Chains A and B, each alone.
Chain A
C-alpha cells in the first residue's frame, strides 16, 4: 500500500484540521505516513493542501500525484484534478462541476451540514467521513482521534463523519487497522522536533519575531513554556531577538532564536557578537524561497552559503541541516551542546517542508541527548584567585563563568578585548585573541558525525547523489526505486555542514562513476561549498527552486535515460 490522499481547499475551510485528524487516524491504525502541507500566504481563500501519504512500509517523502483527491472547493478541485493518477478517485460536494465517472464520489456535504447539522463549516467533516469510507480506514480509530482532538465538539463532528460515510462507497483501497504500534513509532512535525530538541537540551530562553516557517517553533515552545519552565518572548524585531538571547545566554540561560532567512539577515551583526563574546546561542532558520520576502509559505534550500558565511569578521560556528524530523530532534539538542561547549553560535537550517510535514518516525530516545553543563560552578569559581573570562588556552575554549553565581566578575566585550574582557587596542593581544577564537574549530571538527552513506558499502562504480538537509527523503526514495530496477545508485548526505567533513567527500568522488548534486536552490550551494573546501567539482546537478519540495520523481526523471 502506498496511497496519497490529497485534501485541498481554501484557507479557512479547515483543510489542516481534517488532514491532521486523518493523519493521526492512520498513525493510530499502525501505518507509516508522511503528510506534506502547502498553503498560500493568506488567512482566507487561496490554496491550502494537505497531502497525506500512507504506507505499510517506510516512507521517505511526499509525492506530487494523487490517489484520492478530497476537494473542499471548486477552485482547488480544478487545480488539483490533473494530479489524480489513473485509477485515482475524487471526493467532493455534489455541487462541484467535474466530469462524472465511477471514481467520483459526490456527497451532499454542504446541504447536510446546513440541514442536518445546522453548521455549514461541518461540510469538511462530512467529506472527511466520506473519504474515510472510501479508503476503508477504521471508523473506531477515527472516532477515537476526533474525540481526543475536538473534546466537547466531538459529538457533532462524529455525526458529520457518519453522514459522510453513509453517502459514500468503498474504493479500491483498504487501510487496515493493523497491529497496535504504540511505543514503536512517533508522529510529529519537523518544527515540533526542533522545539522538543531545544527543551531536551535545556533551552530556557527564546526570543523571536514571527516569520514563517520559523514561527512554528516559536509557537510550539510558547505553548509549552509554562510546563517546561521557559521564557518565550516575542521580540520587537529580529535584531532585538538575537541581542536579547545573547544577554540571557551571558547570564547562563540556554537561548534560542527562531526565524527565516530574512529575519536571520537582520540578526547577522548579533551573530558576529556571539562569535566575539564567545557566548553560545542557537538560531533556527526555517528556509523559504527568497530573495527578500520571496514566497513566505513555500519551501527551499537557499540559505546554506548565507549561514556558513554570515557575520562580519572571522569566528567559528556550527551549522546543521537535519534530514528529517527524527534527526531534527537530535541535532537540535546537539547544536545546543556544541554551542555551550565551544561557546559559539550554532545554526539549525530547516525549511517549510520539514517544519510543517507530519511524519511517523522511530521513537525519539530521551537518553540520547544528555544535557551537560559546560559552566564553571560556584565552588570552582570560589577557589580561583582571579577569573579571566577569555583566558587563552590550548583548545581556545576559556572556562566560562556567568555573572552572579560567585563573587567573580564576568566581563564580555564586542570590542577586541584582553583575557579579562577589557577593551584593548593592543595589536599583539588582538592577534592572540583571534587565534584563540579560531582554534576552537579544531575541537569542533572532532564533534562532527559522518555524513550518511546509503546503501552501505563501496560507492565503486555507482552514481552518487550528494545532498543536504530535508531533500534526504526524496533522494533516499529515488535511490531505492532506481536500485530496485537494477540501477547502481548511492547517496552521500550531509546534515552537519559546517565545518564540512571532507574525507567522505573525497572518497565518494574518487570511487563514484559520477556525482550528482541535488539541492533545493538554483545555484548549487552545496556544490559550491564542496568546491571551496576540497576543490572537487560536481559535474551534474538536479535543482528545484519553484517553492515546492523536491521529490523522488524529480530525480528519477532527470537521471533516467
Chain B
C-alpha cells in the first residue's frame, strides 16, 4: 500500500469512528455538537496513561474511552434536559469547555501540545475502525437500536410503552462519547502528538455533516457519509483550487434534494421488495 493511500485510509478510519460517535445520539434524536471534546478526552487520556504511567495501549485505550463515556454519562443527564437548538448549543459549549481545559492543563503540555512515545500503526487503526463498525452493526440488530428510533420518532408513545426515554437518550449519548474517546485515543497513538486546538468546533461540525449526509436512519449512513467526505475531495484533486467550492456546492444541492441523507430505510425496503419480486 502506498504511503498516500495508507494516509487517506487512516483518516477515513478516524472519520468513520467519529461519525458513529455522532450517529448514536442522533439515532435517538439528539444532536451532539461537542463530539471533538470527547475525542480530546480519549486522546489525552491515552497519551497521559501511556506516557506517565507506562501503560500498554491495551489498557490505556479502554480506560481512556471509558473516561470519555463517563463524562458523557455524567454530563448527559443535565444536558439532555434541553432540546433542539438549546441542546445543540449546550453540547457545542461543552466541547469548547473540554478543549479549553486541555489547552490550559500543563501536565499534558498545555498549548504546546503533548508528544506520545507509544505508537499504533495504520493496521491497528484500521482494526479499531472495523471493530467500531462491527459493534454498531451488532447493536443495530438489537432492541436497543429499535428503541433509539422509537424515542426519536415519538417520545410520548415510547414512554407510554414503558420505555425510559431519558435512559435511552443518556445511554446513546454516553455510548457515543465513549466511541469518540476510543477514536481520539487511537488518533493520539497513531500521530504521536495531541494538541487541544485540533479538537475544535470544525471537527465536531464536520463529523455531524458526515452523518447528516450519509443519513441517520440506518446504521450504514455514517459509514457512507464518512467515506464520501474523506474520499471525494481526494478524487477531486485535479481541480485543486476549486475542489472545495465544487464539493461544498454539491453538498448543498444534495441536502436540498435529499434531506434525509444518502442511505434511508425506504432505500433498503426498495431493495428488499425488488429481490422478493425476483425470487418466485
A and B part of one assembly? no
A contact set with B: CB distance below 8 Å: none
Q: Please list the residues of chain B having a beta carbon within 8 angstroms of any beta carbon in chain A.
A: none
